Amino acid sequence: MKSAGVTSIATAVTSVAVPDAGAQTGPAVLGPGDVPVTLTVNGARVDLKIEPRVTLLDALRTRADLTGNKRVCDRGTCGACTMIVDGRTVYACSTLAIEVQGKQIRTVEGLSSGNTLHPVQQAFCDVDALMCGFCTPGFVVATVAVLEKHPNATREQISKGLDGNICRCGTFVRIMEAALKARGVVRG
Amino acid sequence: MAKYSWPDTPALLGTPVTRLDGPDKVTGRARYSYDINRPGMIYGRIVRSPYPHARVVSVDLTAAQKAAGVKAALVYREPGTQVMYQGDPVAAVAADTEEHARDAARLVRVRYEPLPHLANVEQAMAADAPSVFPNGNVRAGARDETGDLAAGFAAAAHTVEQTYSTHVITHVCLETHGCVCEWDGDRLTAWISTQAVVQSAQQFAQALGIPQSNVHCITQYMGGGFGSKFGPDAQGIICAKLAKQANAPVKLMLDRKEEHLDTGNRPSATAHIRAGVASDGALTAFEAESWGTGGAGAPSGFPLPYIYNFPNRKRVHRDVYINAGLQRAMRAPGHPQGCFLTEILMDELADRVKMDPVAFRIKNLPPAGPNAMWAQYFRDGAKRFGWDRRHATGDPTPGPIKTGMGVSAHRWGGAGRGSHAHVDILSDGTAVVKCGTQDIGTGTRTIVAVVAAETFGLPVSGVKVEIGDSTLPFSGGSGGSTTAASVTPAIRVTCTDALDALFAKVAPTLGVPPTDLVAEGGRIHVKGNASKSVAWKDACKLIGTEPIAVDGQWQDGLSGAGTSGVQFAEASVDIETGIVRVTRILAMQDCGLIVDKLTAESQAYGGVIAAINFALFEDRILDRVTGQMVNPNMEWYLLAGMSDVPAIDIVLNNMPERGVIGIGEPPTVSTASAIANAVRNATGATIRSLPLHPHKVLAAIEQVRAGGTN
């Protein structure tokens, strides 16, 4: 009860630190303020003017209206924002947009073609590997990544590949079922 | 035969039907409230109290209002008032980008006078505790007494006296609470993440002083609620006010920390229990003093004792208030707590009389009934699970990994209530079903389609479903496992009436009275003469330009109430590290008439996994000195991942004669208790408090080794 009896007036204001660009050496400093950023998303060029601090996830969700991948924990724990960048899964909430210029970015929107679902997406639907669906895009992308790397992945490989994703409704059993079902259909 | 009933030989009911909105969700096309982007939309951000208890001295918005991109700012908590927990909202800003909104929120200058706070139940109950809450930190709650307690203890051959407890967890909805608000004059549209689209409109209207008919709430997709999303809350009202002030649409979705602090939690529960058992294994007496905290002024009730028949009993409960966010309903409110407190005690009592836990439970059950099928589930489940391979308490095998089995039972109410629906059948054969319910991930959209398609004899794809909109016919909030039992009868009644109207149009062409017609397989035919028929589409051509338009509502007789279930768990414990792994779960469950087997099973899987989290991982930890939550995130607030999920066997007992009953809640009630009993069976050490974190497991094992009775 450290604070018991304390009646002093405290203030909860923190001032915003302004980086002193002149004191830095090394790479060129971008910003503060908007800078041009060009991304390649699902094969298409996306030109943005954003602050350097904007994450890949926020850039796509709030500036490019690509809202398929979700923001959930916003600090690289839950995997709802999982995208594939140059063949590797990344937490887009913890990746700056300026870092991934010139790289191939794949989001959940890029998996289906027209009304034809990707085999992983189809398997998710067939076995009901989703409930509220908020973690689903992240899980779908992570599953695609696992199966592209290991087309005939074992249960253990799938489990390890999906351990960076969290579902709150509790769809794990059927996600595993969907991933197993999609094996061999996804080309590496 | 009643006019409205479920079919004896259904074509779709009880079969696995894939989720209607599956393709939208797996492709990212589904737009959740979080995903709504409106032209000219700006972003809201709330300034919250960093103190668990303080008086707001002043709130200065000046600097924030001058910051880049800021379009609106408001004071939510007037100076002189008190904030009662960390995260209590105080002020808010809105700016052109989220980043600018966050910057501006930091510039809101709030002066607080910190006041004494209570960071946990022990501090609140201490004799010298500061008086923080106006009517006392501790308030008398439920009290009940039955039979003759003294006689009950006199009849006991053994007594157990122990303290049992469960912890506070938060809902952790993956889509945080929040909405997008857009005004058109004095009309408000809110895309809101809610379990209650109609009630949200009602609450917006009340708080903003506008007619309810001026509010339009939309929830097409919703990223989890679990009992915590029944209205706009502070953030919704703040969002609407910021939008009004800025004259622009505002998106205000909470961040993960806010979600932990201020959107509800499952209250804690503790009970000091003395219970007696006769030498033949019959329970004789139960006396409990219980308490729990639902945070800064909310109750903490739970059923106790749970299910089993203690003929003589007395229970006194107290609600303890602490300076933490207020509790809200969380998946089967009260039941996981009451279940745990009772079921661990049951295993201890069974050991005293040297009875098998299953036989001991069966002996002490209340009378069996359609809503009380435990005895059957215990027997069938024991056989299916391989309970006969269970060793006595304490795994005798050598080595550090000990394995054990546990069992536990639960119940839940459910029940249907007023829900309305509207059906249009158009001349092109389109059938549109409208209902102001919402799909919170449970599959409501799909079961609406299943019931309509079943009634019309159409495939599921032949029905168009409109839900998730407050302007649709009234339906209640999705809570208490009542949605399926409320909505499906309304759909059945309305579709039956609409079909009768269609039969009236078709009957003359087939030369029979309308009552002789049935709809199945996409055709309308004469009863007992399938060859005398007309295709659905052709039948609908007889409708003409004025569609068949029918309103209807829930009626008694198509839904039921009361479910029962039993769960078995197998767990292994590493007695060197204290780490518990759940290896198998068997869930025996009924929910009346199963509408969609696939989504019903998913609910059961989900309930079990949620309870594994409750048992082993999640825990809202408040610093005992500062009252601050130390894990308001998703890396230190632990949740299961794929590798933590055991083999789960779901057995759903379809009981069509009982009508539709919900299943969202019951399967999550008893899993944690069964796991704790499995750990007890594995190690010989009883852990009487959740979660079963390694340090507690090790401490309990150490106590047994040291010769204590544990």
The 10s digit of each residue's pLDDT in B1-59 is 478 999 999 999 999 999 999 999 999 999 999 999 999 999 999 999 999 999 999 99
A13 CB near a chain B CB, below 8 Å?
yes
User: How far is C-alpha B647 from the chain's CA centre?
Assistant: 23
- CA geometry: angle B220, B224, B227, nearest 5 deg: 110
Last residue of a domain, one of B519, B553, B587: B553
Confidence band (pLDDT; 50, 70, 90) for A8?
Answer: very low
* Residue A51 to residue B641, Cβ atoms within 8 A: no
How far apart are the C-alpha atoms of B193 and B66, rounded to whole Å? Answer: 31
Q: What is the distance in angstroms between the Cα of B709 and the nearest Cα belonging to chain A?
A: 34
Q: Are residues B523 and B630 in the same domain?
A: no
Is cis: bond before B50, omega within 30 of 0? no
Which CATH number does the domain housing residue B472 bear? Answer: 3.30.365.10
Residue B121 lies in a domain: no
Q: Which of A9, A132, A165, A166 to mutate to probe the B interface, most B CBs <10 Å?
A: A132
pLDDT at B191 over 60: yes
Q: What is the distance in angstroms between the Cα of A136 and the nearest Cα belonging to chain B?
A: 6
Predicted confidence at residue A65, as pLDDT, reads 96
* Structure-block tokens of residue B566: 């039993």
DSSP letter, residue B365: P
Residue B196 lies in a domain: yes
Q: Are residues B226 and B362 in the same domain?
A: no
Residue B258 lies in a domain: no
Confidence band (pLDDT; 50, 70, 90) for A16?
Answer: very low
What pTM did the predictor assign?
0.95
Predicted confidence at residue A4, as pLDDT, reads 34
Q: Are residues B333 and B232 in the same domain?
A: no
Report pLDDT digits (tens) over B228-251.
999 999 999 999 999 999 999 999
How far apart are the C-alpha atoms of B24 and A96, rounded to whole Å? Answer: 28
pLDDT at B632 over 60: yes
A residues 134..163 contacting B (CB < 8 A): 134-137, 140, 158-160, 162-163
Helices (H), ranges, B164-316:
197-208, 233-246, 256-262
Residue B647 lies in a domain: yes
Higher pLDDT residue, A187 or B206?
A: B206
Q: What is the CA radius of gyration of chain A?
A: 20
**Mean pLDDT on A18-44:** 80
Q: Are residues B61 and B191 in the same domain?
A: yes
How confident is the prediction for chain B on average, in pLDDT? Answer: 97
**Mean pLDDT on B245-271:** 98
Residue B312 lies in a domain: yes
Cβ–Cβ < 8 Å for B110, A12: yes
pLDDT at A12 over 50: no
How many inter-chain contacts (A to B, CB under 8 Å) are there?
221
Q: Which backbone phi and psi does B673 adopt, to 5 degrees?
A: -65, -40
Which CATH number does the domain housing residue B211 bear? Answer: 3.90.1170.50
B440 CB near a chain A CB, below 8 Å?
yes
Report pLDDT digits (tens) over B140-176.
988 999 999 999 999 999 999 999 999 999 999 999 9
Residues of B in contact with A71 (CB under 8 A): 34
Confidence band (pLDDT; 50, 70, 90) for A27?
Answer: confident
What H or E segment, with its residue span, contains residue B682?
helix B671-683
Query: Look-up: residue for tokens 């589409």?
Result: B537
* Residue A3 to residue B222, Cβ atoms within 8 A: no
What H or E segment, with its residue span, contains residue B452?
helix B444-456
Report pLDDT digits (tens) over A102-141.
999 999 999 999 889 999 999 999 999 999 999 999 999 9
pLDDT at B90 over 50: yes
Q: What is the CA radius of gyration of chain B?
A: 28
> Which residues form the domain of B612?
268-413+560-705
Q: Are residues B94 and B233 in the same domain?
A: yes
Report pLDDT digits (tens) over B336-381.
999 999 999 999 999 999 999 999 999 999 999 999 999 999 999 9
Q: Are residues B230 and B83 in the same domain?
A: yes
Residue B129 lies in a domain: no
Last residue of a domain, one of B533, B553, B573: B553
* Structure-block tokens of residue B60: 């200065």
- Domains annotated on chain A, with CATH: 33-110 (3.10.20.30), 119-182 (1.10.150.120)
Q: What is the distance in angstroms between the Cα of A66 and the nearest Cα belonging to chain B?
A: 9
Residue B445 lies in a domain: yes
Q: Are residues B54 and B183 in the same domain?
A: yes
Is cis: bond before B305, omega within 30 of 0? yes
- E-assigned strands of B32-137? 42-48, 54-60, 70-75, 82-83, 89-95, 109-114
Q: What is the distance in angstroms between the Cα of B441 and the nearest Cα belonging to chain A?
A: 3
A86 sits in the region (left: phi over 0; alpha: psi -120 to 50; else beta) called left
DSSP letter, residue B268: P
Cβ–Cβ < 8 Å for B494, B550: yes
Q: Are residues B507 and B639 in the same domain?
A: no
* CB-nearest partner of A108 from B28, B106, B643: B28
What H or E segment, with its residue span, contains residue B10?
none
* Residue A163 to residue B27, Cβ atoms within 8 A: no
User: How far is C-alpha A185 from the chain's CA centre?
Assistant: 24
Residue B385 lies in a domain: yes
How far apart are the C-alpha atoms of B129 and B329, rounded to whole Å? Answer: 28
* Residue B27 to residue A58, Cβ atoms within 8 A: no
Predicted confidence at residue A25, as pLDDT, reads 67
* Residue B123 to residue A70, Cβ atoms within 8 A: no
**Mean pLDDT on B95-121:** 98
The DSSP bridge partners found for residue B252 are B179
Report pLDDT digits (tens) over B194-225.
999 999 999 999 999 999 999 999 999 999 99
Q: Are residues B366 and B488 in the same domain?
A: no
Residues of B in contact with A155 (CB under 8 A): none
Q: Which of B15, B21, B25 to mutate to probe the A interface, most A CBs <10 Å?
A: B25
pLDDT at B634 over 50: yes
Least confident of A18-22, B469-473, B587-591: A18-22
Q: Are residues B456 and B377 in the same domain?
A: no
pLDDT at A21 over 80: no
**Mean pLDDT on A94-102:** 97
* Residue B28 to residue A137, Cβ atoms within 8 A: yes
Least confident of A7-16, A164-173, B446-455: A7-16
Q: What is the distance in angstroms between the Cα of B97 and the nearest Cα belonging to chain A?
A: 9
How far apart are the C-alpha atoms of A136 and A111, rounded to whole Å? Answer: 13
What H or E segment, with its residue span, contains residue B529?
strand B529-535
Predicted confidence at residue B414, as pLDDT, reads 82
B446-450 long-range Cβ contacts below 8 angstroms, 24+ apart: B446/B17, B446/B18, B446/B19, B446/B20, B446/B21, B446/B596, B446/B599, B447/B484, B447/B487, B447/B488, B447/B595, B447/B596, B447/B599, B448/B487, B448/B488, B448/B491, B449/B17, B449/B20, B450/B12, B450/B13, B450/B17, B450/B595, B450/B596
B residues 360..379 contacting A (CB < 8 A): none
**Structural domain count, chain B:** 3
Predicted confidence at residue A15, as pLDDT, reads 42
* Residue B443 to residue A131, Cβ atoms within 8 A: yes
Confidence band (pLDDT; 50, 70, 90) for A6?
Answer: very low
Quick check: helix, strand or coil at residue B482?
coil
Is cis: bond before B10, omega within 30 of 0? no
Residues of A in contact with B111 (CB under 8 A): 9-12
Quick check: helix, strand or coil at residue B188?
strand
Q: Which of A131, A166, A175 to mutate to probe the B interface, most B CBs <10 Å?
A: A131
Predicted confidence at residue B705, as pLDDT, reads 86
How far apart are the C-alpha atoms of B673 and B565, rounded to whole Å? Answer: 13
Q: Are residues B421 and B408 in the same domain?
A: no
**Mean pLDDT on A35-44:** 97
A residues 39..78 contacting B (CB < 8 A): 51, 53-54, 58, 61-62, 65-75, 77-78
- CA geometry: angle B465, B469, B473, nearest 5 deg: 75
Q: Are residues B52 and B85 in the same domain?
A: yes
* Residue B606 to residue A131, Cβ atoms within 8 A: yes
B residues 188..227 contacting A (CB < 8 A): 221-224, 226
Last residue of a domain, one of B534, B553, B572: B553
- CA geometry: angle A27, A29, A33, nearest 5 deg: 155
How far apart are the C-alpha atoms of B89 and B78, rounded to whole Å? Answer: 11
The ipTM is 0.97
What lies within 8 Å, CB to CB, of B52 at 6+ separation is: B84, B85, B86, B117, B118, B119, B323, B324, B626, B627, B628
* Residue A128 to residue B602, Cβ atoms within 8 A: yes
Report pLDDT digits (tens) over B477-493.
999 889 999 999 999 99
* CB-nearest partner of A170 from B27, B609, B635: B609
Predicted confidence at residue A187, as pLDDT, reads 63
Cβ–Cβ < 8 Å for A157, A148: no
pLDDT at A9 over 80: no
* Residue B114 to residue A8, Cβ atoms within 8 A: yes
How far apart are the C-alpha atoms of B487 and B509, rounded to whole Å? Answer: 34
**Mean pLDDT on B619-630:** 97
Predicted confidence at residue A32, as pLDDT, reads 84
DSSP letter, residue B224: -
